[in-house]
Amino acid sequence: GLHEFDALKSSEVNDFRTNMRQLSEKKVLERQGQSWQEWLQYSQPPILEPTDRLPELCSNRLHRPNLIVCISFEKSQESFSVQVSVSALPLKLKTEALRKRLSVHQSQYSSEGHDDFVLKVTRANEYIYGDYPLSQFQYIRNCIYAETNPSLTMVHSSTIAKLFQAETHMEVVSRARSASKPPSLPVKNKQAGDLLWSITAPYQITLVKASKVNTDEAMKLVVKAGLFHGSELLSKTVTTSEVPASADLAWNERLEFDVLTGDLPRTARLCFVLYAEFEGKSGRRGKATKPDKTMVQDLPIAWVNAMVFDYKDQLRAGEAVLHTWSSFPDDMDEEMLNPMGTVHTNPNTDSAAALHIAFSEYSKGPVYYPPFEKV
């Protein structure tokens, strides 16, 4: 439900939902100024075939030159049979139906014209209107194929207008309820910030700490980070120092990459892996061989990825908490990083290990990736 979106606490998701709500409200306002005819075209467009030409299988079942249509009037027990050509327009049907009713009731309905009615498929929420031959309407064609007479109802325009007003009222009530929600933060003007190309410093972040890490106390923990563009490594990976295992691990280490910030591609991503070092005779890889043939082994514990730029093309800055994933791909290489994995953090924030990092700030204001026309 919607509460799941609220629980994400994602500015990207919130902005998208706000923009969609504003777009919907704009369309509601536009429809409030429509006539009932315009509303009908929007809410109940005619169901048409691509062409008005009957296929041979259908035309072979049309045993007479004219189509016999049974037409009844709304809130009336009367019905009339009208014969028209399959190439006639719905207007012809309405005119003939009104003429037949007038011939029976004489002056009782003399003030009503064809513009006061819309043809509706009997017992179906489908309307027959517009400047299209009858043979192009899907319902009429289905009746010809089934060798049955079409059954239509003349619905008065006042009925359509009431449906229009009822739907508009519901939309206004829904809009009033959503108006109580606070608006999203205004989108920052890219002209007010610095462009990425003006930053000549190497790209760097600070690994503050890790939390909720469940490992053996005899292990020593390390975090490795890499900058990727797709599966391509942009610079050498960097690692933190070793710290003893505990529930909360503190590093406060600055990690600097061998690439200029201004050279970063738009879709660059940071990839992290938290792993343990221990002495053993088996593991992912060894670092040093001892006389008893034991080696220092690396055991990956968790990984997480993060985009360097946010969805507004802004270079990320400030602190962030990245909840990690504990399942690793089978084809992971010795670097133990997972650049093709998701850039979304683990939604299971109660139990997942988390890396606390700080993106460096290179300017007093926001730093944006250059717009497309400048690239």
**pLDDT value at position 104?**
81
Architecture label for domain 194-279+295-374: Sandwich (2.60)
Please state, in angstroms and rounded to a whole number, the distance separating the CA atoms of residues 274 and 268: 20
pLDDT class of 15 with cuts at 50, 70, 90: confident
Q: Residue 341: exposed, middle, or buried by beta-carbon count in 10 A (0-12, 13-18, 19+)?
A: middle
- CATH class assigned to 44-157: alpha beta
Average pLDDT over residues 88-101: 93
**pLDDT value at position 239?**
95
Residue pLDDT, tens place only, 38-48: 889 988 999 99
Prediction pTM value: 0.58
Bridge partners, 118 (sequence order): 155
Residue pLDDT, tens place only, 239-257: 999 998 876 789 999 999 9
**pLDDT value at position 109?**
61
Q: Greater confidence, 3 or 23? A: 23
Q: Which two tokens stand for residue 253?
A: 């280490």
Q: Percentage of the chain with pLDDT > 70?
A: 83
Taking each helix axis from N to C terminus, what angle separates 36-43 and 157-178, rounded to the nearest 10 degrees?
A: 70
CB distance 274 to 231 below 8 Å = no
**pLDDT value at position 288?**
47
Task: Name the CA radius of gyration of the chain, rounded.
Answer: 35
Vertex 40 angle, CA 43 and 71, to 5°: 115
**pLDDT value at position 246?**
75
Extents of the domains making up the chain: 2-37+166-176, 44-157, 194-279+295-374
**pLDDT value at position 7?**
59
Please state, in angstroms and rounded to a whole number, the distance separating the CA atoms of residues 120 and 301: 65
Per the prediction, the chain carries an average pLDDT of: 84
Whether residue 177 is predicted with pLDDT greater than 60 in this model: the reply is no
Residue pLDDT, tens place only, 95-136: 999 998 888 876 566 667 888 999 999 999 999 999 999 999
**pLDDT value at position 289?**
44
Residue pLDDT, tens place only, 283-311: 554 444 445 556 668 889 999 999 999 98
Residue pLDDT, tens place only, 321-338: 999 999 888 877 778 999
Nearest-CA neighbor of 124 among 190, 182, 47, 211? 47
Q: Greater confidence, 98 or 198? A: 98
Whether residue 272 is predicted with pLDDT greater than 70 in this model: the reply is yes
Q: What residues contact 73, with CB distance under 8 A and at least 6 apart?
A: 79, 97, 101, 153, 154
**pLDDT value at position 171?**
58
Please state, in angstroms and rounded to a whole number, the distance separating the CA atoms of residues 168 and 222: 60
Q: Percentage of the chain with pLDDT > 90?
A: 47
pLDDT class of 20 with cuts at 50, 70, 90: confident
Q: Helix, strand, coil shares of the chain as percentages rounded to 5?
A: 30, 30, 40
**pLDDT value at position 191?**
52
**pLDDT value at position 293?**
55
Nearest-CA neighbor of 326 among 371, 274, 374? 274
